[in-house]
Amino acid sequence: MLEADLHVHSLFSACGLHTILELLDHGRAIGLKTMAITDHGPGLGEGRLTSVFFERFRSPYPGLTLYKGLELNVLPERGKVDVVWQFMPFIDILLLGIHPNLKPGQSKQFYTDLVVAALENNPFIDILTHPNDTNYPLDYHTVAETAKRLGVALELNNSKVLYRRSTAEEALLLIQACKEVGCRMAVNSDTHALLELGGDESVRPLFGKAGFPMEMVVNRNAEAASAFIESRRELKRAAVQSRP
């Protein structure tokens, strides 16, 4: 089980089932030390993000560190993501993923170009989520090289393998590309339902199988996760300050 789960959805995502308090309470019960609530950005045209969470909510559980974040969407316009600028001063971590707002069935080059442009134009992104989603194929080496240069971690997503939306073999190809390039990774549950929280059982064994060094996993423990988030906080401040 994870100590630090950095990809968790609440009912503020249309696909999430639980309140933030339910997630925090369950996280505390199972021994989670760190959690990031990362609901979907508005580019999916659903969900209900609220400024109250970002500006005013404080976790009632001092033993469980809560980070506030979003899982942004790669948009069809080259280099664009659906960042919500009004929340940026309060955000600790930003994820980015390809989701059904993009039409499936395009080429690997098409999706790779969109992801690379999105990362390069938005250097405040911290983690690229589920790059092994086979509905949106990517050139792993090209994406890993870009991510390494920008300090972004590529995610190994437990839910994608657990629910057979990708395969262990595809996940191994992603890990191997990161190993060859020297790109850091994150392993997350991508929780939408309560009992998924902290889960890594479908993917953690793959690190050993691939010989991937665990010191390159940014959330290998709670301390490493906090250090990763803090090391990238200035990029978000700079982005906010540079806005006209």
pLDDT of amino acid 46 = 78
The model's pLDDT over 42-53, given as tens digits with 9 standing for 90+, comes to 999 877 899 999
Residue 234 burial class via C-beta count within 10 angstroms: exposed 0-12, middle 13-18, buried 19 and up = exposed
pLDDT of amino acid 128 = 98
pLDDT of amino acid 17 = 92
Residue 111 burial class via C-beta count within 10 angstroms: exposed 0-12, middle 13-18, buried 19 and up = buried
Q: Tell me, what CATH number does 154's domain have?
A: 3.20.20.140
The pTM for the full model equals 0.97
DSSP conformation letters of the chain: --SEEEEE--TTSTT--S-HHHHHHHHHHHT--EEEEEEEPGGGS-----HHHHHH---S-TTSEEEEEEEEEB-SSTT-B---GGGGGG-SEEEEE--TTSPSS--HHHHHHHHHHHHHH-TT--EE--TT-TTS---HHHHHHHHHHHTPEEEEEHHHHHTTSS-HHHHHHHHHHHHHHT--EEEE--BSSGGGTT--TTTHHHHHHHT--GGGBTTSSHHHHHHHHHHTHHHHHHHHHT--
**Domain residue limits at 44:** 4-241
pLDDT of amino acid 22 = 97
pLDDT of amino acid 206 = 97
CB 130 within 8 A of CB 160: yes
- Number of domains the chain contains: 1
Tokens coding 244? 């006209």
Residue 171 burial class via C-beta count within 10 angstroms: exposed 0-12, middle 13-18, buried 19 and up = buried
pLDDT of amino acid 45 = 85
Predicted confidence pLDDT, tens digits, the chain (244 residues): 999 999 999 999 999 999 999 999 999 999 999 999 999 999 998 778 999 999 999 999 989 999 999 999 999 999 999 999 999 999 999 999 999 999 999 999 999 999 999 999 999 999 999 999 999 999 999 999 999 999 999 999 999 999 998 999 999 999 999 999 999 999 999 999 999 999 999 999 999 999 999 999 999 999 999 999 999 999 999 999 998 7
pLDDT of amino acid 107 = 97
pLDDT of amino acid 48 = 87
pLDDT of amino acid 243 = 86
pLDDT of amino acid 231 = 98
CB 70 within 8 A of CB 40: yes
